[in-house]
A = this chain, B = another copy of it.
Amino acid sequence: MDLHDLIAALPDGAVLTDVDLLASYRQDWARDPGAGTALAVVRATSTDDVAATLRWASAHRVPVIPRGAGSGLSGGATAVDGAIVLTTERMREISVDPVTRTAVVQPGLLNAEVKRAVAEHGLWYPPDPSSFEICSIGGNAATNAGGLCCVKYGVTTDYVLGMQVVLADGTVVRLGGPRLKDSAGLSLTKLFVGSEGTLGVITELTLRLLPAQPPQSTVVASFATLTAATEAILTITGELRPSMLEFMDSVSINAVEDELRMGLDRKAAALLVARSDAPGEFAHREAEIMAAACEKAGATEVFHTEDPAEGEAFTAARRLAIPAVEKLGPLLLEDVGVPLPRLGDLVSGVAEIAERNEVTVSVIAHAGDGNTHPLIVHDPTDADHTARANRAFGEIMDLAIALGGTITGEHGVGRLKKAWLPDQLGPDVMALTRRIKDALDPDGILNPGTIL
């Protein structure tokens, strides 16, 4: 494929074809072994660059793999042979408007950078994936990312008021804007959030912001059984809206304790970290209610602190769980969610699947919204072990679907979970999805193999 026209249409140095560089853009954090090798990587610096790339790709029917920070966990930014990997990592501008409480951001900014920039104006962008220090805001919008605060504050789509997006043929459109209410026309902004780069490439986002989060009170509770922990979760969410309600199982507690030596109870079957950001002393009162719920459910230890730094240390411990467990071996990362009353069934079902397949599965969870991350440890040098891990990976998604849940709460379908999507959505919703995809990307050049 002759790249001359593409190179000519873009700023100097935007098109990379160096073999080592291409290799570094082959995969995201899902490390899909089926990744191909791109023809070139385009590092866009503007909406015009993205539009020029898509016009060229459309004219030549070359696939385009949109890419943010490459921290995705479902393989949604996996290169395919002969494609252009289009990265927005160099598009990093932000402007904050404290009056409308909105920010206009380019997609390459990291989530943490957005949080910091708006904090300078006393404002807060809530969605907080555990990877917030390394994931891009564009990728967050593409996957409708979640995080720890979602139990009270919702997910990315709840904060996207508008966007600029480049369609498959290079047309640039502006959707929505800095308005809390807008019923003019179809809800296209919302359609593009979570579309994983299959409908267009987001080049700018208008985000809704909140006033700075008040200081949080934190409760940490250890449980001898999973049943006791899930009972505490249901009691807490039935009584109030915590600002965080996180779950770690025995494997993850020990993996994190190995890293941090912070005195977590290594014998516990489960640990809950719950927080309240209610104003003033109401945070303390809510924490007391949550502590009482844990005690009533039979917690072996309950710790309660008003110290934000101490609370943040436990939150950081929970955030560290995935990398800590990863030290046990490469992980297959699940992201299954269920309606909250089925959380216990999911957790016990995952234990049964782990036992039957003779693999280690650590479960961590955004417990308050029923979104869990079973982490399947596998040994890639052992073909039989890997086969059992892959079987467990599928069985856990089957279980979530059977419990009325979802195969992905916040990571997206990507390439790794698309085989299970029809089981969740059914043939009619898949057909509806295909109709929209074909209407917006008739040549199928945008992120082929993702979702569909």
Residues of A within 8 A of B (CB): 97-102, 143-146, 150-151, 154-155, 157-158, 167, 171-175, 177-188, 190-191, 193-195, 198-199, 210-211, 234, 237-238, 240-241, 278-280, 282, 335, 337-341, 366, 369-371, 404-413, 417, 421, 424-426, 428-429, 432-433, 435-440, 451
How near does chain B come to A90, taking the closest CB pair, in angstroms?
25
How near does chain B come to A110, taking the closest CB pair, in angstroms?
20
How near does chain B come to A424, taking the closest CB pair, in angstroms?
5
12 contacts between A and B (CB under 8 A): A99-B237, A179-B371, A179-B405, A182-B406, A182-B408, A184-B413, A186-B194, A188-B429, A190-B193, A210-B241, A432-B440, A439-B439
Please report the C-alpha to C-alpha distance between residue A405 and residue B180 in the assembled complex, in whole angstroms.
Answer: 11
Please report the C-alpha to C-alpha distance between residue A62 and residue B42 in the assembled complex, in whole angstroms.
Answer: 49
**B102, B279, B410, B429: the one within 8 Å of A181 (CB):** B410
**B145, B175, B184, B439: the one within 8 Å of A436 (CB):** B439
Q: Are A340 and B190 in contact (CB under 8 A)?
A: no
B-side contacts of A437, CB under 8 Å:
186
The answer to whether A180 and B369 touch (CB under 8 A), given A157-B187, A282-B279, A425-B185, is: yes
Identity of the chain B residue whose Cβ is nearest the Cβ of A167 in the assembled complex: B432
Q: How many copies does the complex hold?
A: 2
Which 9 A-B residue pairings sit nearest by Cβ, starting from the closest?
A: A190-B190, A439-B439, A181-B409, A180-B369, A435-B439, A187-B194, A182-B406, A178-B339, A183-B408
B-side contacts of A191, CB under 8 Å:
186-188, 190-191, 436
Q: Are A339 and B405 in contact (CB under 8 A)?
A: no
How near does chain B come to A428, taking the closest CB pair, in angstroms?
5
**B99, B183, B210, B436: the one within 8 Å of A234 (CB):** B99
The answer to whether A241 and B211 touch (CB under 8 A), given A191-B187, A440-B432, is: yes
- Which of A101, A145, A179, A429 neighbours the largest number of chain B CB atoms within 10 Å of its CB? A179
Please report the C-alpha to C-alpha distance between residue A185 and residue B167 in the assembled complex, in whole angstroms.
Answer: 18
Please report the C-alpha to C-alpha distance between residue A341 and residue B151 in the assembled complex, in whole angstroms.
Answer: 31
B-side contacts of A180, CB under 8 Å:
150-151, 154-155, 369-371
| 5 extra interface residue pairs, beta carbon distance < 8 Å, beyond A178-B404, A179-B337, A432-B440 | A177-B406, A182-B409, A184-B413, A186-B198, A188-B436
Q: Are B429 and A185 in contact (CB under 8 A)?
A: yes
B-side contacts of A436, CB under 8 Å:
186, 188, 191, 436, 439-440
The answer to whether A183 and B413 touch (CB under 8 A), given A191-B190, A432-B167, is: yes
Q: Are A183 and B411 in contact (CB under 8 A)?
A: yes
Please report the C-alpha to C-alpha distance between residue A18 and residue B167 in the assembled complex, in whole angstroms.
Answer: 49
